[in-house]
Amino acid sequence: MTAETNLSVEPPRPLRRTVESDWFRNFIMGLIIANAVILGILTYRTLLDGFVQVLRVVDMAITWVFVTEILLKMIVYRLGFFRSGWNWFDFLVVGISLIPGGQAFSVMRALRVLRVLRLLHIVPMMKQVTEALIRALPGMGAILALLALITYVAAVMATNLFGDTETEEVAQLFSDLPRSALSLFQVMTMDGWRFEVVQKVVDDGHPYAWVFFLIFIFVASFLVLNLFIALIVEALQVEQEAMQEEQIEALEEEAEEAHAERAEILTVLKELKQEIAALKATRDGK
Amino acid sequence: MTAETNLSVEPPRPLRRTVESDWFRNFIMGLIIANAVILGILTYRTLLDGFVQVLRVVDMAITWVFVTEILLKMIVYRLGFFRSGWNWFDFLVVGISLIPGGQAFSVMRALRVLRVLRLLHIVPMMKQVTEALIRALPGMGAILALLALITYVAAVMATNLFGDTETEEVAQLFSDLPRSALSLFQVMTMDGWRFEVVQKVVDDGHPYAWVFFLIFIFVASFLVLNLFIALIVEALQVEQEAMQEEQIEALEEEAEEAHAERAEILTVLKELKQEIAALKATRDGK
Amino acid sequence: MTAETNLSVEPPRPLRRTVESDWFRNFIMGLIIANAVILGILTYRTLLDGFVQVLRVVDMAITWVFVTEILLKMIVYRLGFFRSGWNWFDFLVVGISLIPGGQAFSVMRALRVLRVLRLLHIVPMMKQVTEALIRALPGMGAILALLALITYVAAVMATNLFGDTETEEVAQLFSDLPRSALSLFQVMTMDGWRFEVVQKVVDDGHPYAWVFFLIFIFVASFLVLNLFIALIVEALQVEQEAMQEEQIEALEEEAEEAHAERAEILTVLKELKQEIAALKATRDGK
Amino acid sequence: MTAETNLSVEPPRPLRRTVESDWFRNFIMGLIIANAVILGILTYRTLLDGFVQVLRVVDMAITWVFVTEILLKMIVYRLGFFRSGWNWFDFLVVGISLIPGGQAFSVMRALRVLRVLRLLHIVPMMKQVTEALIRALPGMGAILALLALITYVAAVMATNLFGDTETEEVAQLFSDLPRSALSLFQVMTMDGWRFEVVQKVVDDGHPYAWVFFLIFIFVASFLVLNLFIALIVEALQVEQEAMQEEQIEALEEEAEEAHAERAEILTVLKELKQEIAALKATRDGK
């Protein structure tokens, strides 16, 4: 994510300086915040048509400034541009706004708001936190995979066991795989698990269904708990290793000093020995 | 918060001693507790009118004692009074009770209860904990800002996507920005997220709305988790650094002692060398 | 809790040996478990009357064994008996079963089940964990007090603001102080806070009530979080201090050894010095 | 779980090499994943009969490959096969699919999906995490036992106190022991505790029932919290002990080096002493 560097053969120096300057970044930051406010105001359905028109024009203008910004960066960094994850992010969230259908479909229009998330890496403090959070993700990988596997297996079982029903409410919960997975995720979050899920299934002719759900709750909670613990342990580890290093360094420094002093003692001692040897020699030689 | 000190030019000594004395603090503490009880009793609507009248008078009397207390502190500390956050707090929560409209508007009347929170800094044990908690707040800043940004973006998206509806129930959830933010906060707390929010939106003609909400739940939970971890790590860090220091101190102490002993050895050795040199000299000189 | 010791003037030795023996403890443990099973079976309302009668008799018999056990312990330890918290516990939970009205009132009958909790200190592993948990309680004191204070203040405010209503549902939530406190505790546990509490109050003519509840949720969650962190930090501290001690001990041991060795060097060196001095003396004396 | 080793008297070498080879494991892994997908597709009720038939045949074929795999392992490892927990797991989950009634009963059919969980130990990364999680289980034992005991006692009390009712809704919650236990578990997860459980019991003529439930919530939450803390402390302990060891090792290494150097000094010193003694001797002897 810090690959915005020196590969490009001949970067136009003044342009580069502009793109990397603080005032340029602050200018873009200001535009993003203004954009966020405008997109917020535009959600109100009772605005005057003229005002909406003005806001739409300003929004489009800001979008084009963002496009220009990204083009400038591409000119400056050439292919190096795409070696930064954040540049890809900017490229995609700004690019979405330019898709022609973007005006027509509500989903596309909604996705334009993602532009505001550019603040995540334009504000330095936020960038730091966001990158720390992203670095924590791989540590969750193995347990998340386990959780996904167990939810999949439980969803297949639940669909087989409870899905073949004529009760509308239970069908909504377990009639196909995605619904079962969503219902199991609901049970995992412990939101209305008893009366919105378990009791409905029990009343639908599965008096022992609660055994299945209790096992699932225990296993899933245990995994989520361990996910949490893994993150804590990792966060603490980084810090403790730094401390560990500092302490071992202090120990080694002390050891080195002691070694030097003992070496000096030994040197003096050996000189002494030589002197005595010399003394003896003169004496014997006498 | 400990700025209640020696700036005031000529503090009337006996007054100051009174204001800072333990019995004065305990007296105020007792009044606050009595006040808390009275305000609690006054919430009952079935009390005799006469009794309510008496309680109101006592409440007012206590309020005026508090006013006097604050005035005394102002006289003693002069401008130094406003350098303590807790004094500002007292000034505001007691001040609210004196606003004339305070009798008329239920909100103002309710805010008078905040006076009881003065216990937070009058009871020493509570003051200690409260200040520790306040010091922990800045460590949450960056992640809370992230959470607020993501909730804002998601609220704008949700209002755009789901707000334009004729279903009363969905309109209540997502028809404008504050409602969307509140609904997303509800989803974040995982309270009734499935059937009170997601299912209603799905049934309102957005069959894939659950994708949006699942992503939001995952991102928000991950952030809340990290908020929590940041606080744990910080709390442990303070302690571990103290331990680290203690250990390095022990090491250094030991090193110093060893150094002194080695220095002594070296001194004796050098004396020895001189003696032998002298021995040799006398001998050669002989 | 380990005060079951040597104060009693003349303890009847063989009795004491019996009471403190493993087989006696195991016998009582077995009776408690049997009692637990019987009390569980007695909850079923479809049992034959004769069977119920038998179980009741066995239950009474077991109770009298427990009474005998406690009397024996009182004889053995005399007043020392009451210096153990666990003995008080046994005395109370067994005593409850003997209250005559205990047969008549369902609450008294239900409290008899508490006898089963004697397992908490009769099974050694459970005793260990239970006592560790009890030791962790004081560490929560200050923050729990804070939480109670804030809930009280918020309950008084909520009763004043929302309690004076004609809507049955809102009256049930906030019409008096205990109800308000319970409702706020519900909000704190985030169980149905939006639609079972906040929305009902908003619909009852308090459009900005959600501000009050959001602030309460944030403050309460922050306190609960810190309660949790305080417990973690304390649990880790105990352990780290043990490690710290071990490490400093290792350092000191090493330092002592080094000191002894350096002392030996110095001794040899001083002998050497004396010898040379002697050498010189003989020489000069010569 | 790593007992798949060298006990069998005469293992057919090439067979063993095959069974333990990477390609064999990857082949089985691929089959499990294919099987998982097939079982997922088979949950859809709208598939063409012919397609379902094909999938069933493939499913059976894969099952027989698994049976063959397990038989091969039994031939290779003989009795050593059953010393691995994972082999038992494979044996059971594959065995279930072969029970004749397995075709008839939906529960048996659903249990076949458990075969997919074989991935837990066939994918190396997952095996590592799963085994770490299993190792964490005993650390939870004591507190889980406490939680179970307290839930049992509370369930007996709740059945006695609230179970004898004519209200259908309350009967569903507390009319017998398993229902009471499930309802208390629901209260413990804080899912709808207020209006789905407590309020119903209060309205059924037990105005102070909330006291019972509040105490239960506090005790259970405190235990769950400590369960969590025990896991965190244990996870951190493992790591810190490793660090501790490393640090003490560094200290000892340093100490050893210092000892060697001091020994050298002492040796030289003693030689010196001898030389001086010799010097003196020659002199005196002269």
On the question of pLDDT at B146 being above 90, the answer is: yes
The whole-angstrom distance between A115's CA and the closest CA on chain B is 9
The whole-angstrom distance between A211's CA and the closest CA on chain D is 10
Chain C neighbors (3+ CB pairs < 8 Å): B, D
Q: Answer whether D252 sits within 8 Å of C254, measured CB to CB.
A: yes
Question: What residues of chain A lie within 8 A of the CB of D114, using their CB?
Answer: 153, 157
A110, A126, A264 ranked by CB distance to B161: nearest:
A110
Interface check A195 vs D, CB under 8 A: yes
pLDDT band at B231 (very low <50, low <70, confident <90, very high): confident
Residues B51 and B63 in one domain: yes
The whole-angstrom distance between B63's CA and the closest CA on chain A is 44
On the question of pLDDT at D190 being above 90, the answer is: yes
Final residue of a domain: which of D104, D122, D140?
D122
Which residue in C47, A193, C42, C43 sits closest to D162, CA to CA? C43
DSSP A7: T
Residues A84 and A222 in one domain: no
Contact call for residues C196 and C169 (beta carbons, < 8 A): no
Q: Quick one: closest CA in D to C169, which residue?
A: D195
C135-155 pLDDT, tens digit each? 888 888 889 999 999 999 999
Report pLDDT for A267.
87
Which residue in B205, B210, B137, B139 sits closest to B169, CA to CA? B205
Report pLDDT for D136.
86
Interface check B267 vs A, CB under 8 A: no
Chain D neighbors (3+ CB pairs < 8 Å): A, C
Residues C18 and C137 in one domain: no
Any residues with CB less than 8 A from the CB of D201 and at least 6 apart, and which?
D162, D170, D173, D174, D209, D213
Interface check C146 vs B, CB under 8 A: yes
pLDDT band at B285 (very low <50, low <70, confident <90, very high): low
Q: List all residues of chain D from 92 to 131 with a beta carbon under 8 Å from chain C.
A: none
What count of CB pairs under 8 Å joins A to B?
156
Residues C232 and C130 in one domain: yes
Report pLDDT for D8.
45
Span of C53-67, C133-147, D26-40, D271-285 with lowest mean pLDDT = D271-285
Q: Answer whether B177 sits within 8 Å of A271, measured CB to CB.
A: no
Q: Report residues of chain C scoring pLDDT below 70.
A: 1-12, 100-105, 283-286
Interface check D251 vs C, CB under 8 A: yes
B232-263 pLDDT, tens digit each? 888 888 778 888 888 888 888 888 888 888 88
On the question of pLDDT at B100 being above 70, the answer is: no
On the question of pLDDT at D149 being above 90, the answer is: yes
Q: Quick one: closest CA in C to B273, which residue?
A: C273
What CATH number does residue C70 fall under?
Answer: 1.20.120.350
* CA pair distance B201, B177, nearest whole angstrom: 16
* CA pair distance A72, D161, nearest whole angstrom: 75
SS3 C243: helix
C116, C243, C279 ranked by CB distance to D276: nearest:
C279
A136, A191, A275 ranked by CB distance to B280: nearest:
A275
Residues D142 and D79 in one domain: no
Residues D70 and D197 in one domain: no
Report pLDDT for A8.
45
Instruction: Residue D278: count other Cβ atoms within 10 Å of its Cβ.
Output: 13
Report pLDDT for C108.
78
Question: What residues of chain A lie within 8 A of the CB of D106, using their CB?
Answer: 160-161, 164
Question: What residues of chain C lie within 8 A of the CB of D252, using their CB?
Answer: 250, 254
Range of the domain at B272: 123-286
Residue B75 burial (C-beta neighbours within 10 Å; 0-12, 13-18, 19+): middle
* CA pair distance C81, C95, nearest whole angstrom: 15
| Average pLDDT over every residue of A52-80 | 92
Please measure the distance between the N-terminal and C-terminal CA atoms of chain C and give it in whole angstroms.
Answer: 81
Q: Answer whether B117 sits within 8 Å of C153, measured CB to CB.
A: yes
pLDDT band at D65 (very low <50, low <70, confident <90, very high): very high
Q: Answer whether B107 sits within 8 Å of C284, measured CB to CB.
A: no
Q: Quick one: closest CA in B to A107, which residue?
A: B161
On the question of pLDDT at D257 being above 80, the answer is: yes
Span of A75-84, A193-202, B276-285 with lowest mean pLDDT = B276-285
Any residues with CB less than 8 A from the CB of B29 and at least 6 apart, and which?
B119, B122, B123
The whole-angstrom distance between D168's CA and the closest CA on chain C is 16
SS3 A164: coil
* CA pair distance C189, B185, nearest whole angstrom: 14
A120-130 pLDDT, tens digit each? 999 988 999 99
A239-266 pLDDT, tens digit each? 788 888 888 888 888 888 888 888 888 8
C213-268 pLDDT, tens digit each? 999 999 999 999 999 888 888 888 877 888 888 888 888 888 888 888 888 888 88
C133, C189, C279 ranked by CB distance to D226: nearest:
C133
What is the full DSSP assignment across chain B? ----STTSSS--HHHHHHHHSHHHHHHHHHHHHHHHHHHHHTT-TTS-HHHHHHHHHHHHHHHHHHHHHHHHHHHHHGGGGGGSHHHHHHHHHHHHHH-GGGGT-HHHHHHGGGGGGGHHHHSHHHHHHHHHHHHHSGGGHHHHHHHHHHHHHHHHHHHHHHSS-S-HHHHHHHSSHHHHHHHHHHHHTTSSIIIIIIHHHHHTT-TTHHHHHHHHHHHHHHHHHHHHHHHHHHHHHHHHHHHHHHHHHHHHHHHHHHHHHHHHHHHHHHHHHHHHHHHHHHHHH-
pLDDT band at B46 (very low <50, low <70, confident <90, very high): confident
On the question of pLDDT at A3 being above 80, the answer is: no
What count of CB pairs under 8 Å joins C to D?
157
Question: What residues of chain A lie within 8 A of the CB of B156, using their CB?
Answer: 36, 39-40, 43, 110, 113, 116
* CA pair distance B114, B96, nearest whole angstrom: 9
Q: Quick one: closest CA in D to C271, which residue?
A: D273
Report pLDDT for B90.
93
Interface check C67 vs B, CB under 8 A: no
The whole-angstrom distance between B191's CA and the closest CA on chain C is 6
* CA pair distance B100, B103, nearest whole angstrom: 6
Question: What residues of chain A lie within 8 A of the CB of D237, using their CB?
Answer: none
Contacts for D42-51 with beta carbons within 8 Å, 24 or more apart?
Answer: D43/A156, D43/A159, D43/A160, D43/A163, D43/A176, D43/A177, D43/A180, D44/A176, D44/A177, D45/A163, D45/A164, D45/A175
Question: What residues of chain C lie within 8 A of the CB of B239, using their CB?
Answer: 233, 237, 240
Select the more confidently predicted residue: A10 or A155.
A155
Interface check A55 vs B, CB under 8 A: no
Residues B70 and B169 in one domain: no
Looking at the 3D structure of chain C, how many domains does it have?
2
Which residue in A217, A169, A212, A151 sits closest to A190, CA to CA? A217
Instruction: Residue B252: count other Cβ atoms within 10 Å of its Cβ.
Output: 14
**ipTM for the predicted complex:** 0.85
B180-214 burial code (b ≥16 CB/10 A, e <16): bbbbbbbbbbbbbbbebbbbbbbebebeebbebbb
Which ranges of chain A does DSSP label H, i.e. alpha helix? Answer: 13-20, 22-41, 49-77, 85-98, 106-111, 119-122, 124-136, 141-162, 168-174, 177-188, 199-203, 209-285
Residues B131 and B113 in one domain: no
Rounded mean pLDDT of chain A? Answer: 87
Residues D148 and D80 in one domain: no
| Average pLDDT over every residue of B218-235 | 90
What CATH number does residue A250 fall under?
Answer: 1.10.287.70
The whole-angstrom distance between A281's CA and the closest CA on chain D is 10
Residues B185 and B160 in one domain: yes
Question: What residues of chain A lie within 8 A of the CB of B150, using their CB?
Answer: 117
CA distances from B223 to A136, B150, C114, C198, C225 (A): 11, 10, 42, 25, 15
Interface check C242 vs B, CB under 8 A: no
The whole-angstrom distance between D187's CA and the closest CA on chain C is 10
Report pLDDT for A193.
94
Question: What residues of chain B lie within 8 A of the CB of A183, using their CB?
Answer: 194
Select the more confidently predicted residue: A87 or B286.
A87
The residue of C143, C151, C152, C159 whose CB has the most chain B CBs within 10 angstroms, and thus the best one to mutate to test that interface, is C159
Rounded mean pLDDT of chain D? Answer: 87
Question: What residues of chain D lie within 8 A of the CB of C44, using their CB?
Answer: 176-177
* CA pair distance C243, D239, nearest whole angstrom: 12
* CA pair distance A51, D219, nearest whole angstrom: 58
* CA pair distance D61, D67, nearest whole angstrom: 10
A165-197 pLDDT, tens digit each? 888 999 999 999 999 999 999 999 999 999 999
SS3 C191: coil
Q: Answer whether B244 sits within 8 Å of A240, measured CB to CB.
A: no
Contact call for residues D244 and C245 (beta carbons, < 8 A): no
Interface check D194 vs C, CB under 8 A: yes
Give residue for tokens 């203040």. Answer: C153
Final residue of a domain: which of D97, D122, D147?
D122
Contact call for residues C42 and C52 (beta carbons, < 8 A): yes
Question: What residues of chain A lie within 8 A of the CB of D269, using their CB?
Answer: 269
Q: Give the HSE-up count for residue D151: Cα atoms under 13 Å, Cβ half-sphere.
A: 23
Kind and range of the H or E element at C281? helix C209-285
Report pLDDT for A54.
93
Kindly compute the dihedral angle of the four CA atoms of residues C178, C180, C183, C189, in this order, to the nearest 10 degrees: -90
Residues B62 and B18 in one domain: yes
C44, C189, C239 ranked by CB distance to D176: nearest:
C44
Select the more confidently predicted residue: D286 or B186.
B186
Interface check D272 vs C, CB under 8 A: yes
* CA pair distance A23, B14, nearest whole angstrom: 58
The whole-angstrom distance between A73's CA and the closest CA on chain B is 25
DSSP D123: S
pLDDT band at D34 (very low <50, low <70, confident <90, very high): very high
pLDDT band at A235 (very low <50, low <70, confident <90, very high): confident
SS3 C230: helix
Interface check B283 vs A, CB under 8 A: yes
Residues B113 and B247 in one domain: no
Interface check C278 vs D, CB under 8 A: yes
Contact call for residues C266 and B262 (beta carbons, < 8 A): no
Final residue of a domain: which of B122, B147, B165?
B122
